[in-house]
Amino acid sequence: MSGFGRFRLLQLVIDAGIVALAWFLAFELRFDHGLPVYYDTLLRRTILLVVAIKVAVFLLFGFHRRWWRYVSVHDMWSAARGVIAASLVADVTVYFVSPVHNVRLPRSIAVMDLLITLALIAGARLLVRTVIERPRGGVVARGREVIVVGAGDAGRTVVGEMQRSRMLRYTPIGFVDDDPAKRNIRINGVRVLGTTEELPRIVREFAPDELLIAIPSASGDTRRRVVEAAQAARVPVKTLPGLYELITGDVQLAQIRPVQVEDVLGREQVEVDMRQIGSYLAGHTVLVTGAGGSIGSELCRQIARMEPARLILVDNAETALFEIERELVSEREFTAAIPKLVDVKNQKALRREVFEKYKPTIVFHAAAYKHVPLMETHPLESVRNNVVATRVVAELAAAAEVERFVLISTDKAVNPKTVMGQSKALCEWIVESFGHRRDVKTRFVAVRFGNVLNSSGSVIPTFRKQIEKGGPVTVTTPEMTRYFMTIPEAVSLVVQAGAIGGRGQIFVLDMGEPVRILDLACNMIRLSGKEPRLPADDRTTPNDVAVKFVGARPGEKLHEELWSETEAVGATEHPKIMRLSRPPVDAAWLAEQLQELERLADDGDTLEVVAKLGSIVRGPKWETVPAAGTESAPSREEADRSSGYGEPPWTPTGSSPA
């Protein structure tokens, strides 16, 4: 018999004994001067029957499936329901079976039996948990002494786990919480020592071996205060993951990790309307291009949780596509993921292998080249993979009449000075052009945001590697700033923007306040347990990591923008998503310019492509709206012809419309 089987059998035997004892006590307590003979006979003839009935009902209510050492309030309510049901069945059976002639079960005995059984069942379970979780080791602490920041549900869970498991070698010596009502109270036997403002004093007074931030929803400012207090006292600090990492909602000690730079950036947690998101993704066939990339793979993870009918993963990078497909199927048990190794620039393959075969209804277009310096030296690939691919996917989506098309854009598309930024600006125009076509049923939108932390090629992994090597950490200039957001945050808002919808809309995510790259580097160095040494610092210690200024790269801005002066910003139903308003680009002019740009890219003329790309972005032709009363409104057919609505707005050289 397995260990769990022995425990289950033991629990059932104890429950059976409790039932028999409660039945006996109910009879004994009912009569002050001893049991009458006929009731004594009733007791002896029914006790085994009652035990059998109640234990059978307990089994039906799953009593045997709960370990008493982990009993919770929810388990207690379940036990109460089981005891009430078992007592009713047993009492009714004894009453009508009437094993003693003309002797019925008194109602008072039935009520007393119910109350005694309930008290003993609950008490036995609480006693077992209390004995197992009792403090051990007397006054001497075992393992590392920890102060837990946050006396909420997560903090209580973590402390309870520390107290239960001796192998963890942790001893919680106090809580820190900003709720004044919790001050000096004890939770799980551990006292709340004060607030986060008092942390420097608390750390000096109690000298813990470690601080643990147990507030998944804590803001960056709160985490930063804790980290600063810990660093001043040279005490290591760890944290539970943020809300976006706690996918299952379960808090476990295995999830504790060192504080990372994204934890202290000062951003508030972003909330999304999961019901609204689920309503437009659940049961649909969703296509994600660039599924193996940083944004694309997180899109796949979050969309998979919304239970789509199928999730089509498109990428031309074999390894990245394999890894995200394996993660979804093997680790997340989402078996409706279908990987397609297809180049999104290949219109025929994409149409045949994806759109005609699987008929997606929602498209998230995340495939793009994004590394600015690399695109400066490879402008042809930037045009092909960003501009041409967006046109191809948009045309196929419109022809297939998918419901929604969401483009992942970037803040580098605002007043772009680089090839990559200019190519993404054209991608936004393409989406706007399709969105304003009256013959297209698809709702086209684009979502623009700044840098995401820990994406491939971002400064975070670069700085981390440089710190591990001992420096120097290379920063462009002291003044340079960037907007930052975590990948899960950005993707959740992208999916939310898709739910908001619109036709030809450009949405911008609220990225918070821009962060100085120098501050980011210094924070990362301090979190590694070392101190940054700037070029102006004369001191040198073994614990220093040098910071070196290397200057901005070609086309790189000191400060990124989320919108330009010609774009108006309005609110949406979500506080972290804004809607841009600007004149639409003339569709016929855009079709002509893109056709010429694609021809130059096909010819491999790098200089001409760069010149053409810059001229298009610098001098767009906006659609003009006639003044009221100056001329009659054109017919639907005339408007379609004049703006390119009647046919796909452009046809690349050597190919036909989708």
For residues 33, 38, 41, 46, the Cα torsion angle rounded to the nearest 10 degrees is -100
Selected residue with higher pLDDT from 60 and 652: 60
**Using H for helix, E for strand and C for coil, what is the string for 123-163?**
HHHHHHHHHHHCCCCCCCCCCEEEEEECCCHHHHHHHHHHH
**CB neighbourhood size of 421 (10 A):** 23
Residue 123's pLDDT is what? 87
* 499 vs 577: CA distance, rounded Å: 12
Whole-model pTM over 0.85: no
**Cα–Cα distance list, 374 to 182, 380, 418, 466, 535 (Å):** 55, 11, 11, 20, 28
Residue 268's pLDDT is what? 62
Q: What are the structure tokens assigned to 369, written together?
A: 């080249």
For residues 562, 566, 570, 575, the Cα torsion angle rounded to the nearest 10 degrees is 10
DSSP class per residue in 221-254: HHHHHHHHHHHHTT--EEE---TTT-SS----GG
Sorted by sequence, the CB contacts under 8 Å of residue 357 that are 6+ apart come out as none
**Cα–Cα distance list, 175 to 195, 258, 264 (Å):** 9, 19, 21
* 452 vs 512: CA distance, rounded Å: 12
pLDDT (average), residues 525-540 = 82
Strands (E), 522-589: 531-533, 544-549, 568-571, 577-581
CA-nearest of 256, 584, 213 to 432 is 584
Domains of the chain: 3-133 (no CATH), 144-259 (3.40.50.720), 274-581 (3.40.50.720), 587-643 (no CATH)
Q: What are the structure tokens assigned to 204, written together?
A: 């000096």
Residue 635's pLDDT is what? 40
Q: What are the structure tokens assigned to 8, written together?
A: 């289950």
Residue 572's pLDDT is what? 87
Burial class (CB within 10 angstroms; exposed 0-12, middle 13-18, buried 19+) of 560: buried
Map tokens 């009912």 to a residue. 30
Residue 649's pLDDT is what? 38
CA-nearest of 446, 423, 416 to 434 is 446
Selected residue with higher pLDDT from 24 and 641: 24
Interval 260-314: pLDDT, tens: 776 776 566 666 666 767 788 999 999 999 999 999 999 999 999 888 999 999 9
**How high is the mean pLDDT of the chain?**
82
- Percentage, residues of the chain above pLDDT 70: 86
pLDDT(244) > 70: no
> Range with the lowest mean pLDDT among 13-22, 111-120, 163-172, 496-505?
163-172
Interval 429-462: pLDDT, tens: 999 999 988 889 999 999 998 888 777 667 888 8
Residue 249's pLDDT is what? 41
For residues 281, 284, 288, 293, the Cα torsion angle rounded to the nearest 10 degrees is 50
> Range with the lowest mean pLDDT among 92-106, 308-322, 564-578?
92-106
Residue 354's pLDDT is what? 95
Q: What are the structure tokens assigned to 372, written together?
A: 């600015």
* 213 vs 250: CA distance, rounded Å: 16
Q: What are the structure tokens assigned to 650, written together?
A: 């452009």
> Range with the lowest mean pLDDT among 123-137, 350-364, 515-529?
123-137
What band does 630 get if pLDDT is binned at 50, 70 and 90? very low
Residue 599's pLDDT is what? 93
Highest-scoring range by mean pLDDT, 168-177, 222-231, 260-269, 607-616 = 607-616
Per the document, the length of the chain is 658
